[in-house]
Chains A and B, each alone.
Chain A
């Protein structure tokens, strides 16, 4: 059990130890604590009593939970589709080295470093009826007459949030897709050119299939990110109009920090985590089987 090999193994363990500790402390432990909490009637203000599965029972019959889950799914579908389409367009535009391409890439990625809260407040003021640039512009162009309150109608409220999210995160999607595209060997494209394939044909028969692993990764990341959306809704729509834009995390926050009901809040968190685990597993399985084909 000694000798250089064992020593190397011990050294290796030592090197991963900090990472393991970090994951244990920052992820595994909190998940366990949350799971335990979900079995309690646990008030933020103090008292707790064990209630078994009561919180989960309530969750199944809670219409606002199901509404919220439906809305979050709709939002995720729209955002994911928009991010993929816009991300592809931008990645195609900046994939080759050309004059000024560096500037464009930087411009597209720049919003990624802004916090969601900051970006949301920025949007809130841009859209403000009295002092915002956008309503003023719309009025001057004659598109609308009178007051503009984008957050009073479900379609316009959701559109503003989706545009904000795409603007803020598409840079990352673009980067991932671009590096995926650049990893595709030039030989394929040359062969296609020799065969006389059109641009569209090249895209659908070469670029897209070879990008599948990258697209899958983008999908997984976007879906998880969208299901966890909170700041933009909390700040921009406040769940309105008429409670039509309440994402699941907003409900979790509301139960914990407005209703002071940590137990129920924890049960919803665990519920959402299970849903995300299933969704991610399905996506990864689909990816893998396709990759093997």
Chain B
């Protein structure tokens, strides 16, 4: 079963962390990625740039409109995700709990099963 584990970050919460705490998060993700690769459960993981760099695209009357809102005003943003292939939902939740963000107030981890996939898995 494939799951996306999404990490919702709150830039204000991240900014308030000490350098040591920030380093611990980075290190925690590194260890997590290594463990997932060894167990054969990692498909891919990606982290996204700061939400201030996001473009919100819409087309109105055939005209393309690019803005930076309205999502920028939200407190939590999608910071990145893991795409994993594991035994079942319980295992996906067990893995999500190992992500360092899960232990920090104000950051959120969401687990959802993949329903449709297409495109090459390996570049």
Are chains A and B native binding partners rather than an unrelated pairing?
no
